[in-house]
Chains A and B, each alone.
Chain A
Amino acid sequence: MAAEDTAILATRALGVALDVVKRDGAPDAEVKIDVRRRAAANQRFARNEATTSGESDEVTVSTWIALGQRHAAASVNQTDDESLKALAARALAMAKLAPADPEKMPLLGPQTYGPVPSAFDDGLAAMGPKARAEIAARAIARGDRAKVRIAGFFEREIEEAVTQNSEGLIARHRGTSAQYTVTARTPDGTGSGWAGHEAFRAADLEDEIVASTAIDKAVRSAGAKALPPGKYTVVLEPQAVFEMLAFLVGQMDQRLADEGRSFFGGKVGQRLFADFVSLRSDPADPLTPSAPFDGEGLALASHPWIVDGRVNKLAVSRWWAKKKGLEPTGRQSVFHLTGGTAESVDDLVRGTKRGLLVTRFWYNRMLEPQTVTITGLTRDGVFAIEDGKVTGPVANFRYNESPVTVLKNVDAMTRRTSRAIAYGGAWHVPALRTHEFTMASPSAAV
């Protein structure tokens, strides 16, 4: 059964909802429709063989209705007229029952969206189960040859998003993406390596490199020696950099800062980080093209959050912008950390007298929001660096550290950035070297 075009579906859902509110005697009700289609297909493998494979293609329609300051939203994955009518009726009933929200903002009218490069790739969209299984089979064959235990996950997604509202706003975006991660472990359980890659074009898939990197790390990390907890110079690979920075941007909110609930309170304009560090969002960046609008349909512009180590601005919601006389930034989901000049991770290692090379972190959680201190563990490849050379594997640590300190103490980053496995949003980050990184306790995990 051919799926209905999501834009046509959004128009239909809006018409149904407007009819429902009109019939109910609320012709002035505000209505917003969000249609999201996500077609996902995956192949999972472990123990050197395929484990599960699956496909789903779901369309979700969300209807938001506001009666003055009262508002509510409901969603459903059924798209027939009867379901859309029931959906609108439910949202309306919920809005009537919801108490007034003083922070509710009026709907946006038509917006002008800047051009963004295409994020949709026909090759990736057409990728079938055979091709996905072949990726797994190639990794498994490599794992067999290297005599390691190999596991991995490949997922291809097609996503379409349409937002339409009763004020005439229409926003539409579609994209493809593929995420591929591999973990290899030595049979004796003393070595583990990981690699991951995310791309939005089939031509950019590097599945053989991902598998061989994971295997290489597993073999090289076997028989790690334990080092004492303490402060270390660390070279963080891009995935580890992303995992820390994700907590930083969560705190970069103007309202939280103004209310005294964020590390960034009173710090806009201050130079908190190394003077070559910059962090920005730009939906039009060709490395990570994404929707030029947020969930409210607000046009997203390029925003520099950190410029040359100085906090340039914080995220501002529409409500807070109105209250404080600021410009709203919208909810951004693309982040790029830039400013490095090193050619490679090897360069960072070469410039390190004594330190640790970290592949990635795991189970990262906010420990202390006032200083944005995070806890988590190293995983799948930690290596000692001595006199500019990787000298051998090191056992895992629990860390307790702040991304603020990471970017303050950083002294080098790679010029080239990589797309991290970000589980939502898009992050392009470099590898970096930073100092006084707190490894708090040893972990026996491999």
Chain B
Amino acid sequence: MAIVTRRRFIGGSAIATLTSGGCRRPPPALPAAPREAVTTEDVLAQALESAKKAGATYADARVVRRRTERVATREDHVVSVTSGETYGIGVRVIAGGAWGFASSAVVSGAAADETARKAVALALAARPALKRPVELAPAPAAKGKWRTKMEIDPFEVPLADKAEYLLSLWPLVKDVALVKFASGAIESLGEHKIFASSDGTLVEQTQVRVWPAFSVTAVEGGQFESRAAEVPPMQAGWEYVTGSPLKKDARSVAEDAIKKLKSPSVTPGKRDLILAPSNLWLTIHESVGHPTELDRVFGLEANFAGTSFATPESLGKLRYGADIVTLYADKTAPGGLASCGWDDDGVATQRWDLVKDGLLVGFQTTRDQAAWIGEAASRGTSYAQDHASIAFQRMPNVSLAPSAKDTALKDIIAATDDGVLVTGDGSWSIDHQRYNFQFSGQTFHEVKGGKITRALRDVAYQSNSLEFWSSCDMLGGERSWELHGTLWDGKGEPGQSNAVSHGCPPARFRKVDILNVNARGKSTAAGARGREDC
């Protein structure tokens, strides 16, 4: 039995590098499954052939190597250095009209054969519980390669360099009075995937993501406040970390923690809300990204993540936001955490509008969903987190278009008489149909008469998604637009994680409910980001 080891897999495939336009050319036929698979392509071909022989009407197979690495520090020392790697093949089939999926950590012709037959058996077993056979929208066969644009692969950077970078932050903040604790981490996440389908697609992709994170906690008299830096994760190389403002901003992050500790508690009430991109991205994620996932709209997530206020009937009719609001999905955005060349259905990625001039105009779809809303082709949003997970509809990068005017954050502040400015992400929560949300942040400032007057604490804003977006009356211009995001967006059963970015300018929302989250009259702290968003 020939096994395509991880080392041989890393050596690369024989797939020719083509531009994204190459996916529209007639594809060369997949290699026929040889008697003994010796390359990754052989193994994939074996999986497809075995699936077909076992009764599949469609099959795809992915050989995926996924790597994670985390260096974490606390004050002046390293607390953990960890790395993880998974490698294997996942085979997804349609047989008897039903989906079936199986995986193996062994990448060989024999394992591919066994895994494919298991996937078919699973699909056929589910037939008694099936009513409508799965139908795939057509997708042109693709062939090509895609990889993250980067100069330095973070997995090639010595761990000592990463630790040194993080440890260099503590001296910058430790003498700030009341600062007691600091946490730092550099997360690296890599995916290398070769995908083949029975429709003739054969593509290879490499994605690398990094995130330098840092937070400081100040303590005084039994009260504590934390402040996290606002450098987002990005699909990029190590140069993104060293070029980030983390070091430059470290001291001001510490000073912000003190400012929070000593600032007055917010007076609740309806105020104009100015959100910096470092906060607004998460609001976009929760109130636009998730509601426009078509599987949620049709109830496929009803048992876990929930459904959506958006319905198929509301497409082109629902007033989602003010006229100035245009939100778009884009799986091609440079640096976007969800960006790639082809999705895990083998569909070329694209950009399209979800909300245009305030009107709901689009949903996120996969090949098995496009027909549900009368569309002829998938938008290319299928994704599986690793070889052992089934691909399903996942959020692409969803972003807010900037104003055509060259408006800056300072212009929005100057135009605001009575408001609160929020930066950074804090506690976040939204209901299972995406109406009622409540978000906090990292820093809060009172805006009076067009000026920032003082720092505040204990702030959260609570609204309804449609009311919120309808209240948007000012947007920053292109120069104020920033890309933020998360490495860990959770969805599905079994749960899977997806990395996704959201770009936006600063924006103003009129008369939003500002809450004081500390009704007990004691101190508060904006929580550091958790591991996973939903």
Q: Check if B84 sits within 8 Å of A74, measured CB to CB.
A: yes
Report B55-101 residues with CB < 8 Å from chain A CB. Answer: 71, 77-88, 98-101
Interface stretch, picked from A178-186, A292-300, A343-351, is A178-186
Q: Check if B87 sits within 8 Å of A102, measured CB to CB.
A: no
Q: Check if A48 sits within 8 Å of B517, measured CB to CB.
A: no
Give bound CA distance, A96 to B101, whole Å: 41
Is A373 close to B, CB under 8 A? yes
With both beta carbons as reference points, the residue of chain A lying nearest to B124 in the complex is identified as: A129
Q: Check if B103 sits within 8 Å of A47, measured CB to CB.
A: no
Known contacts A50-B129, A151-B303, A367-B427: A56-B388 contact under CB 8 Å: yes
CB distance from B497 to the nearest CB of A (A): 13
With both beta carbons as reference points, the residue of chain A lying nearest to B128 in the complex is identified as: A137
Give bound CA distance, A94 to B162, whole Å: 11
Q: Check if A261 sits within 8 Å of B217, measured CB to CB.
A: yes
Report B414-440 residues with CB < 8 Å from chain A CB. Answer: 427-436, 438, 440
Is A27 close to B, CB under 8 A? no
Q: Check if B219 sits within 8 Å of A261, measured CB to CB.
A: yes
Q: List chain B residues, Cβ under 8 A from A47.
A: 298-300
Q: Check if B77 sits within 8 Å of A102, measured CB to CB.
A: yes
Is A285 close to B, CB under 8 A? no
Known contacts A97-B158, A101-B78: A133-B84 contact under CB 8 Å: no
Task: Determine which of B427, B438, B530, B534 lies in contact with A398 in the assembled complex, contact meaning CB atoms within 8 Å.
Answer: B438
Q: Check if B88 sits within 8 Å of A366, measured CB to CB.
A: no
Q: Check if B431 sits within 8 Å of A379, measured CB to CB.
A: yes
CB distance from B95 to the nearest CB of A (A): 11
Q: List chain B residues, Cβ under 8 A from A80.
A: 5
Is A24 close to B, CB under 8 A? no
Is A199 close to B, CB under 8 A? no
Interface stretch, picked from B24-32, B115-123, B233-241, is B115-123
CB distance from A336 to the nearest CB of B (A): 25
Q: Check if B128 sits within 8 Å of A365, measured CB to CB.
A: no
| Consensus secondary structure, chain B interface | mixed
Q: List chain B residues, Cβ under 8 A from A409.
A: none
Query: Chain A contact residues (Cβ within 8 angstroms of B): what range?
Result: 35 or more
Q: Check if A153 sits within 8 Å of B303, measured CB to CB.
A: yes
With both beta carbons as reference points, the residue of chain A lying nearest to B462 in the complex is identified as: A441
Interface stretch, picked from B252-260, B353-361, B397-405, B521-529, is B521-529
Query: Chain B contact residues (Cβ within 8 angstroms of A): what range?
Result: 35 or more
With both beta carbons as reference points, the residue of chain A lying nearest to B1 in the complex is identified as: A1
Known contacts A53-B122, A101-B78, A265-B222: A42-B105 contact under CB 8 Å: no
Give bound CA distance, A167 to B345, whole Å: 49
Q: Check if B436 sits within 8 Å of A373, measured CB to CB.
A: no
Known contacts A52-B392, A260-B219, A362-B306: A99-B167 contact under CB 8 Å: yes
Q: Check if A445 sits within 8 Å of B83, measured CB to CB.
A: no
Is A434 close to B, CB under 8 A? no
Is B351 close to A, CB under 8 A? no
Is A121 close to B, CB under 8 A? no
Q: Check if A443 sits within 8 Å of B429, measured CB to CB.
A: no
CB distance from B466 to the nearest CB of A (A): 10
Q: Check if A370 sits within 8 Å of B223, measured CB to CB.
A: yes
Known contacts A99-B77, A400-B517: A367-B460 contact under CB 8 Å: yes
Is A112 close to B, CB under 8 A? no
Give bound CA distance, A444 to B430, whole Å: 11
Is B224 close to A, CB under 8 A? yes
Give bound CA distance, A134 to B299, whole Å: 21
Q: Check if B527 sits within 8 Å of A56, measured CB to CB.
A: no
Give bound CA distance, A376 to B437, whole Å: 9
Q: Check if A442 sits within 8 Å of B101, measured CB to CB.
A: no
Q: List chain B residues, Cβ under 8 A from A97.
A: 81, 158-160, 163
Give bound CA distance, A379 to B525, whole Å: 27
Give bound CA distance, A137 to B98, whole Å: 14
Is B54 close to A, CB under 8 A? no
Q: List chain B residues, Cβ under 8 A from A444.
A: 309, 431, 433, 435-436, 464
Q: Check if A90 sits within 8 Å of B83, measured CB to CB.
A: yes
With both beta carbons as reference points, the residue of chain B lying nearest to A140 in the complex is identified as: B129
Is B390 close to A, CB under 8 A? yes
Q: List chain B residues, Cβ under 8 A from A259.
A: 180-181, 219
Q: Check if B436 sits within 8 Å of A52, measured CB to CB.
A: no
Is B377 close to A, CB under 8 A? no
Is A371 close to B, CB under 8 A? yes
Q: List chain A residues, Cβ under 8 A from B114.
A: 1
Q: Check if A58 sits within 8 Å of B160, measured CB to CB.
A: no
Return the CB mask of A373-405 against B: 1 if under 8 Å, else 0: 101110100000000000000001010100000
Is A308 close to B, CB under 8 A? no
Most chain A C-beta atoms within 10 Å of own C-beta, residue among B127, B181, B390:
B390
Is A71 close to B, CB under 8 A? yes
Known contacts A56-B388, A260-B222, A368-B517: A98-B433 contact under CB 8 Å: no
With both beta carbons as reference points, the residue of chain B lying nearest to A132 in the complex is identified as: B125
Q: Check if B84 sits within 8 Å of A445, measured CB to CB.
A: no
Give bound CA distance, A383 to B159, whole Å: 55
CB distance from B160 to the nearest CB of A (A): 4
Q: 18 A-B pairs, CB-CB below 8 angstroms?
A: A46-B298, A47-B298, A50-B98, A53-B99, A59-B105, A73-B82, A80-B5, A134-B128, A260-B180, A368-B524, A369-B524, A370-B522, A375-B438, A377-B432, A438-B519, A440-B515, A443-B431, A445-B309
List 14 other contacts, CB 8 Å, given A54-B102, A79-B105, A137-B129.
A53-B99, A56-B102, A73-B80, A78-B105, A97-B163, A99-B160, A129-B125, A194-B303, A367-B440, A400-B517, A443-B431, A444-B309, A445-B306, A445-B435
B residues adjacent to A (C-beta < 8 A): 5-7, 71, 77-88, 98-106, 111, 114, 118, 121-123, 125-132, 158-160, 163, 167, 180-181, 217, 219, 222-224, 298-304, 306-307, 309, 388-390, 392, 427-436, 438, 440, 458, 460, 462, 464, 493-495, 513, 515, 517-520, 522-525, 527, 530, 534
